[in-house]
Structure 1
């Protein structure tokens, strides 16, 4: 029976003994007795729905939905995977599945994009992190369970699909895509002048192997390579062992991450594997942004805490929890995806809600700089109403003016964050790198007490929440 540790998305039985207990008069108002009374209440509700709902109901679906609701009430990343969803999850962690190549989550009843995956229909169509998908083939998905919305986005290879997108500051618009067989290559590299560039877009079962091959290829073809940029932007996370594997590529032993469960003594430490630093000390920069989550934050935090790399970009998503996927009856009844621990960087930091803060804060565009300055535009773990609490006293950095944004005249086709990462490598450190003037966003909302709806021309605005919003469903799914 295999368990997956995910860092970033049963059968319900009342046996004869339990029912016999319920039929006995309660002798004490103990927590256990209260639990059994609530289970009896659940049975009463199910029976009432069966007998009186306007149309016949499917008990199995009702109970699965109840289990999922119980789990998603705990935090945004716990949930129930029915057998089909469990199979899809295993395909995703293998890096092979069909669909559009998009990471989505549920945000109070709406389907929200976490990030598009590289070289997939969603990425090529220009779908962006933070977009809302409100309809699929002209049918609304507002209020639909996330798993059902994902199923609608999947289909036969070559089959067209139309997504209705709501984006900040724009009227809703349609995006037409064609479903493909998604075989994600989660790591690939190339040269940027004298420096290597390694893009890691997710953490599936093949990521460390692919990344190792990419770095070896860069070194073989470019023996005078002066350093490396590791790009983890819009990487939603994945498997814990792959995060440890990627970190191990650049560390000479030592701790990468620790996880701590409910019991304070329940601490598990993960150390870098023994093969040593592949780059033999060559300087490194890691690029992150608000779409950098979970396993990607573990890598960023490890390399930052161990003083192995400078971090450039924007504060990461802030998902500091670990999910264990627990198959039920060998997966025949699906699986539980349950938050079982928090993780901590080598220095003992929990980044739950707060995220990894960069050593050099750089916005990719001037519009992004304005978004960072505006409370209404924030999208992070802290945005979820039922997210696990951060460590006592810790809060995510408030909206503010980013340290840098592209200056006037900068070629919009170029990657400003990547350019600044290369500058840090060129000058040897963040401190030695010449700085650009701090941008001055025109947003009135950065002032205390100001109206957050007052935005500058060309700036985007967060779409309204649906009136029938419901609590967020579990973490990212992959249509």
Structure 2
């Protein structure tokens, strides 16, 4: 998620600033802090005096920081220089590149989600893919910043990605032409039958108001009143917690939206409805929320809130399962920690960490010929090494439900194409709303 400010930033900054660059200074810090630091400083001294090549302090300190954060969870990291600048650029929503959200997984670059309309999506890159080579060069084992730097480049330039896709026997190459990625957080369309389709592609600034404006536009386009709304959060990797709260608040008139719980009781924050928007802006309108394995973090907050309050029916595939909050903690002018500081919980007290949001109706993406095989081998938060454990203890059988065949969904991608259906999940949601027009969707 994009990151809220925190008062603990000052304390962490002070603690890190105490670390001097000399061995004598380290010894003084070690004496004041704890005996556990003795091993760290002893290792530092041995490397400085005995390693085959001379190593500067910057490399050793950076390695120690990276090692500490790697021992925590997959979403905590140290950012400086270009990495921090890249994060700020992503927040601004304008950069040149492929348009994908990626993370490292056991040394491999995994695609969390391609952004809608991005060069990567148009070239066929999909959530869950692994990028093994860039222009024929193996990138396994690189730092995530190094891999991303190779994927960035001027708009109009081409790059060849070698993709391993779970469910396929062999890897394949994809050529992607880089573009200017101007992320469009919210897009919408009116579908036959006066059904609105609002796609939320990421949770950047003003998403709540953008969705409200999109809903007004759809109501203006409709011949009469809207009969239903599909809120599409598929392939949405998340973003701002505040915007997830704002979007949820659009459709809720009372009750809790989400709670955030850190290590200590005083770190608990509860977000209530009626704090951003008054009333339900779509009162009486049936809503279906679409999610899939690429729906993470802020997307799961919205889906969980609307599901728990019985305000929407959730369809699609089980979501990614990232139920943690990251906070950006400044260290210096050009460095910061992206640190996991809390878990979040849905209004009913569910943690989506590991288990994700289970749809009320599981609807596979039958129009994608690789969907079934990829779904069976899909990697989610629960599969990441070092992930936070769900305190409630998610049972294995609960995580396996979405791998079972459903006799209702047996059409092939070719058969759907003959019927003119290119997005089965959306088509199924629209047909459901047409059948239930005039009623409020509920679980």
**For this structure pair, what is the TM-score category when the shorter chain's length is used for normalisation?**
0.7 to 0.9
So what's the TM-score if we normalise by structure 2? 0.86
Q: CA deviation at 1:24?
A: 11
Pair 1:21–1:338, CA change in 2 (3 A) = closer
Q: CA deviation at 1:18?
A: 9.0
Q: 2:317 maps to what in 1?
A: 314
Residue in structure 1 matching 2:411, options 407, 413, 428:
407
Pair 1:187–1:45, CA change in 2 (3 A) = farther
Q: CA deviation at 1:345?
A: 0.5
Q: 2:154 maps to what in 1?
A: 156
Query: Relative contact order, CA 8 A, sep 6+: which one is greater?
Result: 1
So what's the TM-score if we normalise by structure 1? 0.80
What is the rounded CA distance, in whole Å, between the counterparts of 1:286 and 1:295 in structure 2?
13
1:228-243 correspondence runs (5 A): 228-243=229-244
Encode CA deviations 1:426-463: one digit per residue, 9 max, x unaligned. 2339x999xxxxxxxxxxxxxxxxxxxxxxxxxxxxxx
How many aligned positions are there? 416
1:13-412 correspondence runs (5 A): 14-15=19-20, 19=24, 22=27, 32-48=33-49, 52-53=52-53, 57=55, 59-168=57-166, 169-193=168-192, 194-222=194-222, 223-272=224-273, 273-329=276-332, 331-332=333-334, 334-365=335-366, 368-369=371-372, 371-372=374-375, 374=376, 377-395=377-395, 396-398=398-400, 400-403=403-406, 404-407=408-411, 409-411=415-417
Q: CA deviation at 1:264?
A: 3.4
Q: CA deviation at 1:25?
A: 11
Q: CA deviation at 1:192?
A: 1.6
Secondary structure, aligned partner of 1:397? helix
Q: Which runs of 5+ in 2 are unaligned?
A: 7-12
Q: CA deviation at 1:300?
A: 0.3
Moved more, 118-127 or 391-400: 391-400
Secondary structure, aligned partner of 2:48? helix
Secondary structure, aligned partner of 1:213? helix
Encode CA deviations 1:357-411: one digit per residue, 9 max, x unaligned. 0111111127534554x4xx03110101211001233234225314343525333
Secondary structure, aligned partner of 2:86? helix
Q: CA deviation at 1:244?
A: 0.9
Q: CA deviation at 1:17?
A: 11
Q: 1:463 maps to what in 2?
A: none
Q: Which runs of 5+ in 1 are unaligned?
A: 434-479
Secondary structure, aligned partner of 1:234? coil
Q: 2:10 maps to what in 1?
A: none
Q: 1:426 maps to what in 2?
A: 434
- State whether residues 112 and 294 of structure 2, in contact with CA within 8 Å, keep that contact through their aligned partners in structure 1: yes
Pair 1:186–1:155, CA change in 2 (3 A) = same
Q: CA deviation at 1:135?
A: 1.1
Instruction: Give the helix-richer structure, 1 or 2.
Output: 2
Q: CA deviation at 1:35?
A: 2.6
What is the rounded CA distance, in whole Å, between the counterparts of 2:410 and 2:197 in structure 1?
21
